[in-house]
Amino acid sequence: MTSLILQVAVRVLMPLLLMFSVFLLVRGHNLPGGGFSGGLVAASAWALFAIVYGAGAARRALRVDPLTLIAAGLGTILASGAVGLVSGRPFLTGLWGALDLGAYGAWMVGTPLLFDFGVYLSVIGVVLTIIFVLEEE
């Protein structure tokens, strides 16, 4: 597509959509959001980029094959479940710990956030695989 207005709009909207997707990811296990909705928002940013600049340019800008994102997401999901097994608890047991960030205070992080991150990566990979294949046809 050669619309200058749409090209400029994508350059402005894409970082905002990606930041919003990370916000949804981090906020998700306590409030509405999470890995699935955050992944859909991130994939929509890349889909918009692919519509404007083409699938080839979107693949080059992404720098990672969507199938690799799917594999990394599934691996992260399995790793979050394995933490429970290693600690002698059932698979996918939620375990929490405090992460001290100094001046930013202590954050409670745990395996549910790791699981959500795996879902986030997997959703981005699946949606972008579908979009890139359809765009390239």
Tell me, letter by letter, the H, E, C secondary structure of 92-134: CCCCEEEEECHHHCEEEEEHHHHHHHHHHHHHHHHHHHHHHHH
Ranges of residues in the chain whose predicted pLDDT is under 70? 1, 29-30
Nearest-5° angle of CA 64, CA 133, CA 59?
25
pLDDT for residue 129: 96
Q: How many angstroms separate the CA atoms of 56 and 58, rounded?
A: 5
Q: For 19-49, write each residue's pLDDT tens digit.
A: 999 999 988 866 777 899 999 999 999 999 9
Longest dimension (CA), the chain: 58
- Are 28 and 41 in contact, with CB atoms under 8 Å apart? no
